[in-house]
Chains A and B, each alone.
Chain A
Amino acid sequence: MNVSLIRTVILGLLFTALPLSAFCEDEDMGIMVPSFEGELGENVGTVLWLKVWRSLRDPLRHGAPSAAMWFTDEVFRGDQSFEDVENDVARNAVAVVLWGNTIAFGDGVLAQPRLCIIPNKVRRNGGENPVTWQVVVSTQLTTLRLEVTIPQTRYQLPPIMLDNSLLSHYPNVHLVPVYRRRYNGPPAGEPIGKLGSSFRNVQNDGDYSEVIYDDDAGNGHMGWVYFPELKGDIPIVDYVIGIIRLLRCDYQAAIDMLSRSAASADNTSAPLKIDSLLMEALATAKLKRDPGVQLELAEKLNPYLQSTAKFKIVYLISKIQAGPTKNKQASLSALESEIAATSYIFPLGDPWLETAKQMLYAMRQ
């Protein structure tokens, strides 16, 4: 049988089977990772773009938002305000922007990334809000609702160090080298082509992804792309991917990424670590599992954070509602203690905390 014919048929089938596109603009949720401003900024933007892109998965359930990576030649300035960036993407479907600048220093370069998340821009089919954990208590007079959501939407992320000579091969997405096979470590052979403007991900394997890409003549090929590690990029990339998966209702996959982000973030990125734990707790609750461990860890890292206290109160209320009746009294006492212990974190008469108190009162009746 003709080998090239079989190859063409297989490639054709794969193109049909994989729905994710790299540059499609007609999607429910856009993710933008532009070039960074400064020395090697294009390369940093390209590597981060590719790392986020390779993590995109097919929507697992009906109604879950699809996602597309946005590419732009426009560079957001490193000192551009969050508001400016959010305004720039206001007219399109972009809900996540990862941008920043690089600074030359000594013999190296350091990248300072920033992230903004705009959850209300994600188009959803159906009523479920993936980044909201809500509890409802009905009384004879009214229905009380309490919810927690993504704790922060604007991030000044920990810096990334650039000490990788391979970066020079990544000036933009289209010029990324493709290799014949994957290697144990950085690529040792010569590239067989470039990613070009039409490519799809087949599978991920360590620091490599197998891709299908078109050459200049439009002929399909298969090969491997290498993703160089930037020192310090792991918690950042994992967190961004975790948030994207959460926004797409892909909860188990979000938990996998967010737990990795929480584990890899060091002390200099404690806010990211805590937010990873809180978002992991939210995704765990969405799957009707117990997120108590994540919340305890987050509280231990910072006992003065209002968002952690809110998550814990919502958790305790949901536990009372889901738990057996015989444990109800103990759970109510735990909720009462939590409210009393953390009330100093809230402004006097804070509406959220007042609702929590009313819920406690209603559940005691």
Chain B
Amino acid sequence: MIRCLFITLLSIICLTTTCGQSTRGTICEVFNYTVEGPESRDNPIAEIRKLWPCFVDDVCSRHDVPGLREILTRVSFHNTDSEFPNDVDALIQQWNQHNRIMEMLGVTLFTLEVPHKMDSTIFVGELLYPDDYKGFKRREVRIPGLELKSSNYQRFVETHFLLILYLLAMELQHDDGKDAVALAKDRPLIVALLSEAYFRIPTDDKEADKSMQDLYSLVRDAAKKEEPTHENQR
């Protein structure tokens, strides 16, 4: 009886602690922005939500890669009130509400001046990591030219695209060969995402944050990695 109870208890603990290690099948994403200055009558999340499908069409029209639309449309948008909760219980609650993966991308919107400006520092990170995760973690990235000029929500959308690139990088880092996930192995998809990111966030700019350069190197190397031949597959 005690043994049965012990096993049941152990199973519950195991199930609870391994939830963060599950394969990333869904990307749920939280966009977190802070307004500094008077309240803006804009609703960035609503605007981004409207713009995103057109952005996906734009990107997919340029690349004939079947998996691309699938990965881009996995993104969903959740509006949160300015500050993200620091309380662990609250984080876990949000984690459960938003399925398995939660990303956050924070920017600051300065509304003291018109047109409003967006801070070029964005915060990208995974809220909860699997225990064995050794890849990219929370980063603050300065991206030159990412200022929001007037209601340019296209730039907001591009920051979300950057988020997807980060997810890809995380997958690549996490991929130890045993637990390979489809996203990190889909070479045309990697190249298409890299290509799109290359359009939008210049790498040759000296002001670009080193973490951006690292990200590009990682993805570029993965894209150029030699395909396994039939010989070495055997």
Contacts and interface: CB of A to CB of B under 8 A. Distances in A.
Interface of A: 78-79, 81-83, 103-108, 110, 112, 114, 151-156, 158-159, 161, 267-268, 270-271, 274, 302-307, 344-348
B150 A161 contact: yes
Nearest to B47: A103
Given A105-B115, A302-B198, A344 B224 contact: yes
Tell me the interface secondary structure of chain B in the complex.
Answer: helix
B115 to A, nearest CB: 5
Contacts of B194: 304
B199 A302 contact: yes
A156 B145 contact: no
B191 A105 contact: no
A345 B202 CA distance: 19
Interface in B165-194: 187-188, 191-192, 194
Given A156-B154, A159-B152, A267-B202, A107 B114 contact: yes
A325 to B, nearest CB: 35
Contact of A302 (B42, B187, B195, B220): B195
A81 B61 contact: no
B116 interface: yes
B53 A81 contact: yes
B223 A112 contact: no
Contacts, number: 102
A206 B28 CA distance: 51
Nearest to B63: A306
B62 interface: yes
B151 A156 contact: no
Contacts of B224: 344
30 contacts: A79-B54, A81-B53, A81-B57, A103-B47, A104-B151, A105-B114, A105-B151, A106-B115, A108-B114, A110-B152, A153-B61, A154-B57, A154-B58, A155-B58, A155-B61, A156-B54, A156-B58, A159-B150, A161-B150, A270-B199, A271-B58, A274-B199, A302-B199, A304-B194, A304-B195, A304-B223, A307-B62, A344-B187, A347-B187, A347-B188
B137 interface: no
A47 to B, nearest CB: 18
B224 to A, nearest CB: 5
Nearest to B55: A156
B130 to A, nearest CB: 29
B9 interface: no
Give the interface size class of chain B. 35 or more
Interface string B60-81: 0111110000000000000000
Nearest to A269: B199
Given A81-B57, A110-B152, A158-B154, A345 B191 contact: yes
Interface centre among A83, A274, A307, A344 (most CB of B within 10 A): A344
A124 to B, nearest CB: 23
A304 B224 CA distance: 10
Contacts of A346: 188
Given A108-B115, A344-B227, A346-B188, 14 more contacts: A78-B50, A81-B54, A81-B57, A83-B57, A105-B42, A108-B150, A110-B151, A112-B154, A154-B61, A271-B58, A302-B195, A307-B62, A347-B188, A348-B227
Contacts of B227: 344, 348
Contact of A105 (B62, B150, B199): B150
Interface string B114-154: 11100000000000000000000000000001000111111
B200 A270 contact: yes
Given A105-B116, A271-B62, A305 B195 contact: yes
B51 interface: yes
Nearest to A163: B150
Nearest to A158: B154
A109 to B, nearest CB: 8
Interface centre among B51, B153, B154 (most CB of A within 10 A): B154
Contacts of B200: 270
Contacts of B188: 345-347
Complex A-B, nearest 10 residue pairs according to Cβ-Cβ distance, in ascending order? A106-B114, A105-B151, A304-B195, A154-B61, A156-B58, A79-B50, A103-B151, A347-B188, A270-B199, A110-B151
Contacts of B50: 78-79
A270 B202 CA distance: 10
Contacts of A104: 151
A97 to B, nearest CB: 13
A305 B155 CA distance: 21
Contacts of B57: 81-83, 154, 156
A96 to B, nearest CB: 15
Nearest to A153: B61
B53 A79 contact: yes
A135 to B, nearest CB: 20
B77 to A, nearest CB: 13
Contacts of A267: 145, 202
